[in-house]
């Protein structure tokens, strides 16, 4: 059995107000003297892992952007036709999306920098380097008790484990940098991008308003337009109440941006009224890699034992090699002190 918990942090505000700097400042100033939310969150996760001696962990990360209402994989930009799916076990998710297994903070930062290089950035009337898309950096943290072994009565299936005697906890951390709301611009391309950005942010504001009206989470009634934009659709798991959510609102100190600043503050006031009831869900997730690798090893051990009985030396050697490879894979991908 697996257990799922979700945490989400996103930055909201007009263009050139400092959202990207707050979220990923490390990658723009070239120093760690003022790290943003993402590098601090990554360090926090690995610090916790070092202190937690009774568990072993496996981490995987993905990075996507929503550009002109099209979802793109920033870690595999050549991948096309990314779609949003939903099922009862995993909720809303994007597929096919590349996930990279990481074991150090440096590896995580390397993947983020790779993704940032593929992100849509352009100069605007207000900012020399402006984000033209919403980005979602996702870290999945798997954990299980050390020395816990899966039940040998449940065999590995190519699609993934269906049940195991050992439980795996899945924690999902979403760190989101929203593109800024914009007024009309002189560039036709920027104007088109701005239209998509403003529409998705307007939908986000509408969803937040609906969630705060008439105690939605208490009466569980009414239509919430999550499907009106890719952004709110992907954020549905987080905004539906079953997650811990933090929102960073940024405003510009300039007098000419006072209208946008007021709108941002109104959004912040609405967000504060959203009531979430985060709790850990029991799910069956075929993507729990710790569980999958252990079951593969158990399956190979069983085959090796049966081969020993039949004295098939050639088959025994082949299975021994496969077993050694699987153990090496687990040792490399598990994070230990």
List the binding residues for ATP.
13-20
Q: How many H-runs (helices) and E-runs (strands) does the chain carry?
A: 11, 12
SS3 154: coil
| CB-CB contact of 85 with 93 (8 Å) | yes
| Residue 282 to residue 213: CA distance in whole angstroms | 29
CB 14 within 8 A of CB 249: no
Burial of 212 (0-12, 13-18, 19+ CB in 10 A): middle
Gyration radius of the chain over CA positions = 23
Cα–Cα distance, 43 to 107 (Å, whole number): 12
Place of tokens 């400042």: 25
Q: Provide the strand spans (E) within 153-200.
A: 168-177
- Write out the binding residues: 13-20
Closest by Cα among 121, 124, 104, 134 to 39: 104
Query: Nearest CA to 247 among 193, 174, 182, 183?
Result: 174
Cis peptide before 212 (omega within 30 of 0): no
- CB neighbourhood size of 33 (10 A): 8
Q: State the sign of the Cα–Cα–Cα–Cα dihedral 111, 116, 117, 119.
A: positive
């Amino acid at each position: 059995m697996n257990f799922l918990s979700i945490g989400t942090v996103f930055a909201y505000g007009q263009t050139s107000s400092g959202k990207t700097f707050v979220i990923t400042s490390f990658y723009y100033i070239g120093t760690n003297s003022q790290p943003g939310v993402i590098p601090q969150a990554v360090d926090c996760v690995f610090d916790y892992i070092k202190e937690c001696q009774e568990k072993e962990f496996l981490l995987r990360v993905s990075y996507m952007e929503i550009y002109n209402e099209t979802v793109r994989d920033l870690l595999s930009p050549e991948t096309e036709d990314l779609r949003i799916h939903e099922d009862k076990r995993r909720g809303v998710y994007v597929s096919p999306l590349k996930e990279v297994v990481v074991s150090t903070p440096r590896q995580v930062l390397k993947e983020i920098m790779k993704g940032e290089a593929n992100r849509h950035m352009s100069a605007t009337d207000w900012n020399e380097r402006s984000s033209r898309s919403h980005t979602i950096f996702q870290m999945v943290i798997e954990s299980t008790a050390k020395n816990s072994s899966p039940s040998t009565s449940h065999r590995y299936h190519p699609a993934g484990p269906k049940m195991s005697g050992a439980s795996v906890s899945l924690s999902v951390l979403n760190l989101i940098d929203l593109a800024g709301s914009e007024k009309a611009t002189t560039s036709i391309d920027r104007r088109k991008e701005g239209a998509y950005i403003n529409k998705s942010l307007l939908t986000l504001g509408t969803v937040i308003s609906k969630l705060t009206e008439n105690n939605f989470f208490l009466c569980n009634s009414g239509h919430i337009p999550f499907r009106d934009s890719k952004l709110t659709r992907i954020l549905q798991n987080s905004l539906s109440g079953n997650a811990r959510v933090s929102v960073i609102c940024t405003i510009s100190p300039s007098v000419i941006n006072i209208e946008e600043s007021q709108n941002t503050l109104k959004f912040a006031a609405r967000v504060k009224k959203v009531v979430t009831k985060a709790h850990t869900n029991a799910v069956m997730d075929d993507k729990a890699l710790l569980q999958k690798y252990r079951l593969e090893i158990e399956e190979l051990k069983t085959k090796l034992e049966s081969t020993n009985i039949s004295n098939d030396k050639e088959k025994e050697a082949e299975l021994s090699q496969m077993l050694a490879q699987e153990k090496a894979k687990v040792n490399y991908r598990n994070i230990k002190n």
